[in-house]
Amino acid sequence: MASIRRTLSPMYHDRAHENGGAHKGFTIGGSSSKHNSSQFLSYLTKLLGVTSDPKSSRRGPWRRPFYQFLVFFLLGFVLGLTPFGKMEDVNGSDRFSFEIKQPYVEERLENNNNKKREEVAVDAVSFVAETETGNKEISFVPRKLIIVVTPTYNRAMQAYYLNRIAQTLRLVDSPVLWIVVEGNAASFETSEILRKTGVMYRHLVCKRNMTSIKDRGVHQRNTALEHIELHKLDGIVYFADDDNIYSLELFQSLRQISRFGTWPVAMLAPSKNKAILEGPVCNGSQVIGWHTNEKSKRLRRFHVDMSGFAFNSTILWDPKRWRRPFTHPTRQLDTVKEGFQETTFIEQVVADESEMEGVPPACSKILNWHLHLDARDVPYPQGWAIQKNLQALITMK
Rounded distance between C-alpha atoms, residue 296 and residue 309, angstroms = 18
3-state secondary structure of 176: strand
342 is an active site residue: yes
Q: Which residue type sits at 363?
A: C
Distance of CA 372 to the CA centre of its chain: 41
How far, in Å, are 140, 217, 293 from residue 265 at the CA level? 33, 19, 13
3-state secondary structure of 373: coil
The single residue of 137, 342, 347, 357 carrying the catalytic annotation is 342
370 contacts: CB under 8 Å, gap ≥ 6? 241, 244, 265, 266, 267, 268, 305, 307
For strands 309-312 and 260-262, give the pairing.
antiparallel
3-state secondary structure of 101: coil
As a whole number of Å, the end-to-end CA separation of the chain is: 147
Opening angle at CA 357, ends 356 and 360, nearest 5: 150
Cβ pair 269, 276 in contact under 8 A: yes
Q: Edge-to-edge, what's the strand order for the sheet holding 368-370?
A: 245-246, 368-370, 265-268, 275-283, 286-291
Q: Which residues are catalytic?
A: 342
